[in-house]
Structure 1
Amino acid sequence: MVSTQEKNLNVSVLMNELKQENSKMEGVMQNIKDISMKSNILALNSGIEAARAGEAGRAFSVVAKEIKKFAQDCLDSSKASESIIKSIQTKANNIIALRTVDIAFDTIDKIDRNLFERNCDVQAWATFDAIKECLIQPTPASKKTAEAFMKNIYKIYEVYFDLFVVDLSGEILVAAQNQSQVGRNMSDREWFQETVKTNDVYVTDMYYSSVVEGHTMGYSSPVRNDAGEVIGVFTTRFNWEYIYDIIDRVQTDEKSKLYAINSEGYVIASKDRTEILKTKLTHLKAVQNILSGRETRGYTIEDNQIFAYSLTEGYNAYKGKGWSVIVAETI
């Protein structure tokens, strides 16, 4: 079964081929135009010579007039054809742009669905008895049980750098992998404060973590006792490399570029890894449209390129972080 991205790529390829044929047709029409101009000049010269010949050149004068009329008709048809060709090219560009918008939407939707699952993970794991018990009764035995549970999660899911249990004072009680983090205090971290204050899941933006030595997102959920009171925080560190599984599978033309950007316009995902959190795309009108709230989906044509864009819509309970996907295609 052909995927949406494959269909869009195939349409874009066909449209580009159509535009190339159109360009060749432009060359043909230019040749016809040149021939018409030369015929017109020939007819003019022939008319002059016929006039000089007097009565003997009258018949040739009639032929010269017909040649001139033919040349003018060709020239008029050539101009009409050029207008049609330009219209076809414009429509082809619009079709490519609309298909490219579909690619941008499809990509951000896949990212949202992946991150929605991470949102569900942290909430579900925060309800497990092993996690609650090590916060209610933080004994060596209860911590060991929680650690074993978390290590098992880590192995099964594979998409996390680490998992932590944090008590209400902000101290890390248990870690799935990096045991050197146990005992560190996180009470000054925004994710900890917001999770406890709102009694709800808190999701960070994508950032580089020196602790896990990689780009990550933090998902934090309150851990509650049977009375519904917050007794601590369960927090995960998602391995951002798994988002590239989505990015790298997007089928685009070799010259095309694809970016995921955050709410400030910084590139957070791209096939070119050197741009991450370094390149800012706010100079593009497409990005300005998104960040200003003027449009959530569409395209612009800038510097002979189509810039298609789609703002996150989130997925179910996961509202998204204001990110967008931009696809640039040369026209």
Structure 2
Amino acid sequence: MGTTLEKNLNVSILMNDLKNENRQMQEVMKKIQDISMKSNILALNSGIEAARAGQAGRGFAVVATEIKKFAEISLHASKESEALINNIQQKANEIIAVKTVDVAYDTIDKIDRNLFERNCDVQAWATFDAIKDCLTDPTLEAKKTAQSFMNNIYEIYEVYFDLFVVDLSGEIIVASQNQSQVGKNMADREWFKETVRTNRVHVTDMYHSSVVDGYTMGYSSPVRNEAGDVIGVFTTRFNWQFIYDIIDRVKIDEKSKLYVINSEGYVIASKDRLGILETKLSNLKAVETVLAGRSQRGYTIENNRIYAYSLTEGYNAYKGKGWSVIVEESIV
């Protein structure tokens, strides 16, 4: 049994083949219509000549009349056939659109599940003694123990740029990789303020970080002592490049396009890697619809192209960031 995406791809290929054959049939029907119209003109001219011939042309007039009837029936039938062909074409487009919506949904769901794991990671690691100890008793030895623990995480998980421990004053006291960040104060950063204020995990949107020199997301969890009081923040920087492990596995036609957009409509990932945090797709009806909250999943047909969309539903405790996946498919 193939995966859902493989089935969707096969259906799209079959539907495109059907549409191509339909277009060929339309050309055939146009030729038949042309023949019918020419036959009708021929019958008309023949009738005129038969009338001129008088009694001698009566037999020919009968033939001309029958040719005219045949031409009219043929033209009517060809028009009915053309209407049916157009209907089949429309239904094929609708099938492709529905299957493309499935692709969009499947992609955002996989992204949500991946980011849910990152959400769990930061919460779990914030409970480890090595992290708590370097905040309650920030000796050099305690910090080295925390750094060793964080380095192990970094090596095992491979999907992070860096991990940091931040005390309640906002100062980074331990870094896994970038030691130049130690001693810097993060008290004015939203992720720090919100984590401490809400006593809950805070997740940033995707952004470009000059510190890690790449696209990233910050996951920050409060670190609590035995009494449950917040004593600091444990924060990670996810390497956004790993999202492309999901996107690159999405099987769509070479001419098709796939985008992940944020809640403002900006592209934050795409199959072709272009326009990241620069291109805004809010000019598309599909994007306008999903951003306005009028529909969470569906498609539009614009400029002979299908735009399927699916809004994040989050996964378990991870509620998502209001992102959507847009898949663009040609219907020409």
| TM-score normalized with structure 2 length | 0.99
Q: Report Cα offsets for 1:276-329 as digits up to 9, x if no partner.
A: 001000101111001111111110111111100000000000000000000011
Q: Which runs of 5+ in 2 are unaligned?
A: none
AA in 1 matched with 2:204: T
- Determine the structure 2 residue equivalent to 1:271: 271
Identity, % of aligned pairs? Answer: 77
- Determine the structure 2 residue equivalent to 1:103: 103
Q: Take 1:170 and 1:52, find their aligned partners in 2: how far apart are those partners?
A: 106
Q: Take 1:274 and 1:67, find their aligned partners in 2: how far apart are those partners?
A: 61
Would you say 1:283 and 2:288 are equivalent positions?
no
- Determine the structure 2 residue equivalent to 1:230: 230
How large is the Cα RMSD of the aligned pairs? 0.7
Post-superposition shift, 1:273? Answer: 2.0
Would you say 1:94 and 2:94 are equivalent positions?
yes
Post-superposition shift, 1:272? Answer: 2.3
Q: Take 1:38 and 1:233, find their aligned partners in 2: how far apart are those partners?
A: 83
Q: Take 2:34 and 2:287, find their aligned partners in 1: how far apart are those partners?
A: 44
Q: Take 1:286 and 1:184, find their aligned partners in 2: how far apart are those partners?
A: 43
- Determine the structure 2 residue equivalent to 1:117: 117
- Determine the structure 1 residue equivalent to 2:317: 317
**SS of aligned partner of 1:268:** strand
Q: Take 1:68 and 1:118, find their aligned partners in 2: how far apart are those partners?
A: 75
Post-superposition shift, 1:117? Answer: 0.2
Q: Take 1:38 and 1:264, find their aligned partners in 2: how far apart are those partners?
A: 58
> What are the within-5 Å matches in structure 2 for residues 36-47 of structure 1?
36-47=36-47
**SS of aligned partner of 2:274:** helix
**SS of aligned partner of 1:273:** coil
AA in 2 matched with 1:132: K
**SS of aligned partner of 1:147:** helix
AA in 2 matched with 1:294: R
AA in 1 matched with 2:268: I
AA in 1 matched with 2:200: D
Post-superposition shift, 1:274? Answer: 2.9
- Determine the structure 2 residue equivalent to 1:209: 209
Q: Take 2:226 and 2:101, find their aligned partners in 1: how far apart are those partners?
A: 48
Extract structure 1 runs of 4+ deviating beyond 4 A.
none
Would you say 1:131 and 2:134 are equivalent positions?
no
Would you say 1:27 and 2:40 are equivalent positions?
no
- Determine the structure 1 residue equivalent to 2:170: 170
Q: Which runs of 5+ in 1 are unaligned?
A: none
**SS of aligned partner of 1:149:** helix
Q: Take 2:272 and 2:310, find their aligned partners in 1: how far apart are those partners?
A: 20
Q: Take 2:279 and 2:265, find their aligned partners in 1: how far apart are those partners?
A: 8
- Determine the structure 1 residue equivalent to 2:240: 240
**SS of aligned partner of 1:322:** coil
Would you say 1:2 and 2:2 are equivalent positions?
yes
Q: Take 1:211 and 1:272, find their aligned partners in 2: how far apart are those partners?
A: 25
AA in 1 matched with 2:170: G
Q: Report Cα offsets for 1:244-267 as digits up to 9, x if no partner.
A: 111111111111010000000000
- Determine the structure 1 residue equivalent to 2:252: 252
Would you say 1:191 and 2:191 are equivalent positions?
yes
**SS of aligned partner of 2:222:** strand
- Determine the structure 1 residue equivalent to 2:67: 67
**SS of aligned partner of 1:327:** strand
Q: Report Cα offsets for 1:73-120 as digits up to 9, x if no partner.
A: 000001101100110111111111100000000000000000000000
Q: Take 1:282 and 1:51, find their aligned partners in 2: how far apart are those partners?
A: 68
AA in 1 matched with 2:94: N
Q: Take 1:322 and 1:299, find their aligned partners in 2: how far apart are those partners?
A: 18
Q: Take 1:308 and 1:177, find their aligned partners in 2: how far apart are those partners?
A: 40
AA in 2 matched with 1:34: D
Q: Take 1:116 and 1:274, find their aligned partners in 2: how far apart are those partners?
A: 26
**SS of aligned partner of 2:237:** strand
- Determine the structure 1 residue equivalent to 2:17: 17
**SS of aligned partner of 1:295:** coil
**SS of aligned partner of 1:275:** coil
Post-superposition shift, 1:58? Answer: 1.2
| TM-score normalized with structure 1 length | 0.99
Q: Take 1:41 and 1:324, find their aligned partners in 2: how far apart are those partners?
A: 58
Q: Take 1:167 and 1:53, find their aligned partners in 2: how far apart are those partners?
A: 110
Q: Take 1:264 and 1:10, find their aligned partners in 2: how far apart are those partners?
A: 33
AA in 2 matched with 1:241: Q
Q: Report Cα offsets for 1:203-254 as digits up to 9, x if no partner.
A: 0000000000000000000000111110000000000000011111111111
Q: Take 1:284 and 1:45, find their aligned partners in 2: how far apart are those partners?
A: 54
